[in-house]
Amino acid sequence: MIKDLIIRNRTYRRFYQEVAIERQTLRELVDLARLSASAGNLQPLKYMLSCEPQKNDLIFPHLAWAGYLKDWPGPSQGERPSAYIIILGDTEISRSFGCDHGIAAQSILLGATEKGLGGCIIGTIQRDELRKVLDIPSRYEILLVLALGKPKETVVVETVNSTGDIKYWRDSEGVHHVPKRPLDEIIIG
């Protein structure tokens, strides 16, 4: 079951934008992060939610999509995320956030997958601009943005081939391919 969920939990970058996600759904997803591991149990993460088209429009321009797909500028209007969860680090609780935000992101995305949604962890963010448009106080470090929606693309996982190329790619049918290194290569002892 967990392996099936993890295989289904792919990075999606094109969505049925018209399928709305309610704030309550986002709250349920953050609750999964709340219950997840945290170094020293400090729980320094805070979250900002967006599921309103106007607020989504403020966030979208400050995100970078699919660096390896050089001729694709990101999802076009109509295929954009219908919601976002912005993961923030509260510097009044801790100065460093370790891998707490990675764990939180994975919990949220697994929960989203179970609900028939999908998303993308975005780390390449115009942080200063995003802080400005959302009026995020300086005490919060912007760690990750999770883009969420009803996936509109097929993503397949495959094994890295003999060239060793790990770059994801999109075929002529629009199917997104994600090469993963083989198990025997990553277990080194």
Residue 65 contacts ligand FMN per CB under 6 A:
yes
CB 5, min distance to ligand FMN, A: 13
Compute how many residues bind ligand FMN; rule: CB under 6 A: 14
Work out which of 5, 7, 37, 64 binds ligand FMN, going by CB under 6 A: 64
45 contacts 100 by C-beta, under 8 angstroms:
yes
**By CB under 6 A, residue 178 contacts ligand FMN:** yes
By the rule CB under 6 A, 123 interacts with ligand FMN? yes
The half-sphere exposure of 133 on its side-chain side, counting CA atoms within 13 A, is 16
Q: d(Cα 30, Cα 44) in Å, to the nearest integer? A: 13
The whole-angstrom separation of Cα 18 and Cα 180 is 32
CB 85 within 8 A of CB 108: yes
Of 23 and 128, CB closest to ligand FMN: 128
Task: Tell me the two tokens of residue 13.
Answer: 């970058």
Interface positions with ligand FMN (CB under 6 A): 10-11, 13, 64-66, 120-124, 155, 168, 178
